[in-house]
Structure 1
Amino acid sequence: MKATFDGKSLRLGQEGISLYESGGYGRPEKGGIRLAPEEGLYLLWRNRIEVADHTFSGLLADLSGDTGFFRRYLVYRDLRERGYALQTGPHDFRVFRRGDRPGKGQSQYLVRVRAERDLVDFDQIVAEVATAGNMRKQYLIAAVDDEGELTYYEVKVNHLAEAGPEAGEGKAVGEAYGAVVLVRPAEAPWLAAEGYGKLLDAGEILLSPVETLYLMDAGRLTLVRGGAPLSREAYYGIAAETDGELGEKAIVYADLRRRGCGPKTGYKFGHHFRVYTAGLQHSLLLAHAIPEGTALPMAAISRSVRLANSVKKKMLFACVHTDDIQYIEFARIKL
């Protein structure tokens, strides 16, 4: 069957209805069906249609004015070859369960296509994941590298526990040496018991800046410097001079603590926190705090997920907004 190309999409006459009914290709319209560019090029590659005045390479050349077209085509072709029916849509593709197709059955995935160097806007991700959840769909990112290899990631909100156990009542006094805070363990044995700080050889407990701020906000830690009281605001100013991410890190640390988690530095994993839950001796999560308006390269996200997988942890990006924190989990999946 022969299609015509109008520069944006392809059209088949009445004979094209069989493609829609059998495989879910195109969208019906008066007198035939209209094919999205990815569908048309795939069917031409499969020798299931002809396109007037166009070879495969000629049609590809005409469609390549859209710089993102070829990687979308690669994803479309890959999913079709895996046995899925799909349609183009606002999230690049809407993918149906195997055996289902448009007009018959429900879609399972909303797929967004990204190249390895594309920036991933986390504000957009949070909104699109929420939309997918409201539609009861799984949200996927199909990442395409420079050699045309595809990796699929499921992206979802990780719903951590809403509230953890009540904070303890112990109190302590810490000595500040710049951003470094030391506490004598004999004066605050509860610190180690509750998972705060690190015991140094000199017999003192070193508190990180985020631990210090959290404990001060909870009214459980008082700071002094050179014998004089040091306020929370003054300490924050000192610590923030050498840590431009302290604000969002402190917010996420406090939120994780309130949820009953035990966050510790994740520096050796290249992220802000490794997170212990339910009294486990092994951390199961890595969390990285990112402020509102952040965009990260797809390649950086891929490295984070691979590293987390290699140490048997989940990778969470803690998106800090003015009134909420969304924990967005990226996980590689096989379709």
Structure 2
Amino acid sequence: MAGILADKKVLVKDEAEGSQIYNKGYFGNPLSGGGLELDLLDAIYLLEAERLEIRSNNNPVSHAMLMSEGVKAINEFEIQYLVFRDMRMRGYVVRRGPEPGDFHVFPRGGAPKKTPSKWWLLAISERRIFDYGEFSKILDQVEKSKKHLLVALVDEEGDITYYECVRKPPRGNLHSNPLKSQIKGILLNDRVLVEGHAWVNLLQKSEFFGKKVWEALQLSLCEALYLVERGDMNIVNAKTKRAINADTLKRKAVEVQKDFHLRYRVYCDLKKNNMLVKTGFKYGSHFRAYKGDPDVYHAKYLVHAVEKDFRTSWPELSRIIRLAHGVKKEIAFARVLERSVEYLRLKRVRP
């Protein structure tokens, strides 16, 4: 079959040939007067598959010539083509989508104008910067269209890693209830100590606070401040023996942990969502979060608190996601906004 390269498109003028290409894979757009108009992505793929010959001024057009035309017309065209090609080879019908997405992906066996698309797909080079604010705007539009967002990250060797992106808070079933008890805590430096068998048992059995060290209980600064603000704990400074209030404890916490305010906002929000929250240090994140009793549930999420304008490299993001995947957890980036916390959950998938 022969197509003609013209104005960044490839035209298949023969109606029968155009119909055959379209019906077997839904490539291109049928023309009202017969024939088929192909995007450069479609044309290169069909050329590779030896389903189409392409000519310009009666001369054959090569794969490299088509790629050059694409690069001149579209930014990161080569990245888009690698992703388009991979999804096509996996059996999906892929069509260009409206910005800010790159493609609409239809389920296997589906067809444009007959089947709703399954994903909005972004094709991204590993060298691009992840900007949470810009990414959140993309998710706004994806959610309005009631689709799911799939990110295809292309490395310098052309290998592709796929991430499914969902903006949804983790939720558990561990309800927080005031203890109706004035527990005494001792501020050491970067943690709070609780002594007394009854108090230790109460804190551990109610919401699994702290970690037992011999007969005492060590609380993180987030746990201690949460209990103070809830009215369940009074704290004294181990050095001065003076009582300290919540504001003083916050100041002390910031002295030893500069991003404490950020972390504490996320800690409180997770508690509000009935999650059990523990440190995620050994996994390279701020928190690990359980849906409930840790003897029944494993920690499903690793949660990392980030600022509103958080930016990082995609390789760094990929490292964090891969680590979470390797320990059978899901990473959630908790973006701290003025009045709320927004959670972006990223999961490595195979489409």
Q: Normalized against structure 1, the TM-score is what?
A: 0.88
Pick which of 175-184 and 214-223 moved more: 175-184
* Aligned equivalents of 2:6, 2:231: Cα separation in 1: 70
* Aligned equivalents of 2:277, 2:249: Cα separation in 1: 21
* Aligned equivalents of 2:282, 2:150: Cα separation in 1: 28
> Partner of 1:35 in structure 2?
38
Q: Secondary structure at the match of 2:256?
A: coil
Matches within 5 A, 1:186-335: 186=197, 188-189=199-200, 190-193=202-205, 194-201=207-214, 203-225=215-237, 226-281=240-295, 282-335=298-351
* Aligned equivalents of 1:178, 1:61: Cα separation in 2: 62
Instruction: Give the superposition deviation at 1:199.
Output: 2.3
Q: Residue 186 of structure 2 is aligned with which of 149, 152, 175?
A: 175
RMSD: 2.5
Which residue identity does 1:83 align to in structure 2? G
Matches within 5 A, 1:37-76: 37-47=40-50, 48-52=52-56, 54-65=61-72, 66=74, 68-76=76-84
Instruction: Give the superposition deviation at 1:51.
Output: 4.0
Are the structure 2 counterparts of residues 82 and 206 from structure 1 closer, same or farther at C-alpha, using a change threshold of 3 Å?
Answer: same
Instruction: Give the superposition deviation at 1:62.
Output: 3.6
Which residue identity does 1:93 align to in structure 2? F
* Aligned equivalents of 1:40, 1:331: Cα separation in 2: 32
* Aligned equivalents of 1:113, 1:63: Cα separation in 2: 15
Are the structure 2 counterparts of residues 252 and 204 from structure 1 closer, same or farther at C-alpha, using a change threshold of 3 Å?
Answer: same
Which residue identity does 1:50 align to in structure 2? I
Instruction: Give the superposition deviation at 1:166.
Output: 3.9
> Partner of 2:26 in structure 1?
24
Aligned residues: 332
Q: Secondary structure at the match of 2:45?
A: helix
Instruction: Give the superposition deviation at 1:3.
Output: 2.4
Which residue identity does 1:215 align to in structure 2? L
Q: Secondary structure at the match of 1:182?
A: strand
Instruction: Give the superposition deviation at 1:174.
Output: 2.1
Q: Secondary structure at the match of 1:241?
A: helix
Instruction: Give the superposition deviation at 1:28.
Output: 4.8
Instruction: Give the superposition deviation at 1:142.
Output: 0.8
Instruction: Give the superposition deviation at 1:110.
Output: 0.8
**1:87 counterpart = 2:95:** yes
Are the structure 2 counterparts of residues 78 and 267 from structure 1 closer, same or farther at C-alpha, using a change threshold of 3 Å?
Answer: same
Are the structure 2 counterparts of residues 216 and 28 from structure 1 closer, same or farther at C-alpha, using a change threshold of 3 Å?
Answer: farther
Q: Secondary structure at the match of 2:345?
A: strand
Instruction: Give the superposition deviation at 1:139.
Output: 1.4
- List alignment gaps of at least 5 residues for structure 1: none
Which residue identity does 1:205 align to in structure 2? L
Are the structure 2 counterparts of residues 103 and 188 from structure 1 closer, same or farther at C-alpha, using a change threshold of 3 Å?
Answer: same
* Aligned equivalents of 2:228, 2:115: Cα separation in 1: 55
Pick which of 79-88 and 151-160 moved more: 151-160
Contact 2:305 2:335 in 1 (8 A): yes
Instruction: Give the superposition deviation at 1:80.
Output: 1.1
Q: Secondary structure at the match of 1:64?
A: helix
- List alignment gaps of at least 5 residues for structure 2: none
Which residue identity does 1:58 align to in structure 2? M
Are the structure 2 counterparts of residues 33 and 197 from structure 1 closer, same or farther at C-alpha, using a change threshold of 3 Å?
Answer: same
Are the structure 2 counterparts of residues 316 and 185 from structure 1 closer, same or farther at C-alpha, using a change threshold of 3 Å?
Answer: farther
* Aligned equivalents of 2:225, 2:39: Cα separation in 1: 54
Contact 2:196 2:216 in 1 (8 A): yes
* Aligned equivalents of 1:299, 1:56: Cα separation in 2: 30
> Partner of 2:11 in structure 1?
12
> Partner of 2:165 in structure 1?
155
> Partner of 1:96 in structure 2?
106
**1:142 counterpart = 2:142:** no
Instruction: Give the superposition deviation at 1:321.
Output: 2.0
Pick which of 47-56 and 289-298 moved more: 47-56
Q: Secondary structure at the match of 2:5?
A: strand
Q: Secondary structure at the match of 2:292?
A: coil
Per-residue displacement from partner, 1:2-27 (whole Å, max 9, x unpaired)?
22242xx3141543752445432234
Which residue identity does 1:239 align to in structure 2? A
